[in-house]
A and B are shown apart, each in its own frame.
Chain A
Amino acid sequence: MASLVLAEHNNAALSDATAKTVTAASAVSTPVHVLVAGQNCGAVADAAAKIKGVEKVLLADDPLYAHMMAETMETLLLSLAPKYDAILAPATTDGKNILPRVAAKLDVPQISEIIKVVGPDIFERPIYAGNAIQTVEAKLPKKVITVRITAFKAPGEGGNAQIEKISAAGDPGTTKFDGEVLSRSERPELTAAKIVVSGGRGLGSAENFKLIEKVADRLHAAVGASRAAVDAGYVPNDYQVGQTGKVVAPDLYLAVGISGAIQHLAGMKDSKVIAAINKDEEAPIFQVADFGLVADLFQALPELDQELAKRGR
């Protein structure tokens, strides 16, 4: 049959997570179709049509899908499900919010956060905060899958899929969107950045977190944080890297003032290079860091900033 990939977007731009999910979908069942559901999201559909390996883009452009609420998305996906033997979404908060509803109504288990497609029916997924990898066989009439996007590469552009407009599928009327407060930042998106500079409880305050931001800006990096720093209110929740926050795998992850609890390591240990600055030389972060500097961050961060400036960054 075919795979259906739920596109991740903000109505204006398509997220890179979609293309990476297409890569996973291509290994499960082909051809691959992408569903773009949103409002005034024609540009997103155009971008999805360019992803290599996509045969068709379904565009549901309707006010009902402006915020991709789980309940209306469930109805839409269920209306399309008969034509597909696999439905996939990136394991973003939208994907995690929506897909379990679809799986439950199709009476199949969901396969969460796959990191590898071993075969069309066999998948690897991390469990216990990534401290174990489970290989599961899913011989199911339909597969509903969320994809850990750091584990898959985007297929690149070069596709020329047709775009088919589809109509809205109804509203169960249980849930209403009532506003959002989104972090605005000129910095790269955390899960897509090549460099991430993260701060932990060691920063001590929201004010001091600016030291992290300054260094991040010199490196054109995204800013992340440990749970402790978010809980303490130094930075917003969407900065959190870890088992239950965001999973990142940049070329460089620089952890500053982060001790390295297993829950945090779960979100960053697939980074290409890990560097850590911590004054406690016994901190567990040093057990996974390629380069460790035992130092007081309040001295090291300004020094780092100056040294980067000196080197023309």
Chain B
Amino acid sequence: MKVLVPVKRVIDFNVKVRVKSDQTGVDLANVKMSMNPFDEIAVEEAVRLKEKGKATEIVAVSIGPQQASETLRTALAMGADRGILVKTDAEVEPLAVAKLLKAIVDEEKPELVITGKQAIDDDCNQTGQMLAALLGWGQGAFAHRLELEGGTAKIEREVDGGLQTVEVKLPAVMTTDLRLNEPRYASLPNIMKAKKKPIAEKTPADYGVDVTPRLKVLKVTEPAKRSAGIKVKSVSELLDKLTEAGVI
């Protein structure tokens, strides 16, 4: 079966973001960009399915600027077979991403789409669920473990109360949570090999999708800052201070 894995280029998770002084967004100039960590987990899961002989082909998709092709190369170096870059410099909202992915799914006909549960830039947590709805497919969101049996995906999900297992008919969409797997580092030979793997370049217009944002960002501001308080010298002083503060 074919597996489709969307990957997003985002600010590296180690970078401390800075809000621009004109309040139009965060400063992305000269900061390190990487693949969204949840998407790395998605690629890893797909590669493991291929290694187990369950997946036959892995197609990675990225929607973003030209540099998103680097993110696709990372996916290819981890083990994806080919890439599709939907090139746009616009800020693409999750609904538009889901519409583009639906058009790609209609063409590619994968049996499983694995997305990250959320991107660490906009923290939306929407795309996978929206894609599943647009396709009329079932979903296993926030996946902790995946087992494929016949025509179904048995997905253990991380939920507020613990873990929940669902059986989803294929084709389906799964979104990854943190403990699904530990993504590998691409080896140097695989990085070299990835340079030869094909990446098809498309535009949103090729899929007939309007990516104009529907939400208007009025401003982006700094959150209220917390400042460091005081250091206490002992456990008993700590309890005194907490009692004074009225919280214990």
Contact = CB atoms under 8 A, between A and B. Distances in A.
Interface stretch (B49-57, B60-68, B187-195, B216-224): B216-224
Contacts of A308: 239
A133 interface: yes
Interface in B120-146: 120-134, 136-142, 144
B158 interface: yes
A173 B164 CA distance: 18
Given A69-B166, A128-B17, A231-B178, A289 B172 contact: no
Given A104-B134, A293-B231, A97 B142 contact: yes
B235 A295 contact: yes
Q: Is the interface of B mostly helix, strand, loop or mixed?
A: mixed
A134 B220 contact: yes
A112 interface: yes
Interface in A257-308: 262-263, 269, 272-275, 277, 281, 286-295, 300, 303-304, 307-308
Nearest to A300: B235
A272 B247 contact: yes
A252 B124 contact: no
Interface string B189-229: 00000000000000000000000001111111111001011
A264 B104 CA distance: 35
Interface stretch (A54-62, A178-186, A204-212): A178-186
Contacts of B160: 92-94, 191, 238, 246
Contacts of B247: 194-195, 251-252, 272-273
Contact of A273 (B214, B235, B245): B245
B241 A291 contact: yes
Contacts of B17: 128, 131-132
Interface in A58-93: 67, 69-71, 74, 92-93
Interface in A94-121: 94, 96-105, 107-113
B208 to A, nearest CB: 15
Nearest to A242: B178
A107 to B, nearest CB: 8
A244 interface: yes
Contacts of B216: 136-139
Contact of A307 (B166, B230, B239): B239
A273 B242 contact: yes
A286 B167 contact: no
Contacts of A269: 226
A155 interface: no
Given A132-B220, A288-B228, A103 B179 contact: no
A100 to B, nearest CB: 4
A122 interface: yes
Contact of A133 (B127, B134, B164, B222): B222
A286 B130 CA distance: 40
Contacts of B34: none
B168 interface: yes
Interface stretch (B77-85, B93-101, B106-114): B93-101
Interface of B: 11, 13, 16-17, 19, 26, 38, 93-95, 98, 117-118, 120-134, 136-142, 144, 154, 157-169, 172, 177-179, 214-223, 226, 228-239, 241-242, 245, 247-248
Interface of A: 10, 67, 69-71, 74, 92-94, 96-105, 107-113, 122, 126-140, 172-183, 191, 194-195, 219, 227, 230-231, 236-238, 243-244, 246, 251-252, 262-263, 269, 272-275, 277, 281, 286-295, 300, 303-304, 307-308, 311, 313
8 contacts: A70-B141, A101-B139, A129-B123, A175-B140, A175-B167, A238-B158, A286-B231, A307-B239
Given A237-B162, A238-B162, A273-B245, 4 more contacts: A100-B133, A112-B123, A243-B120, A246-B160
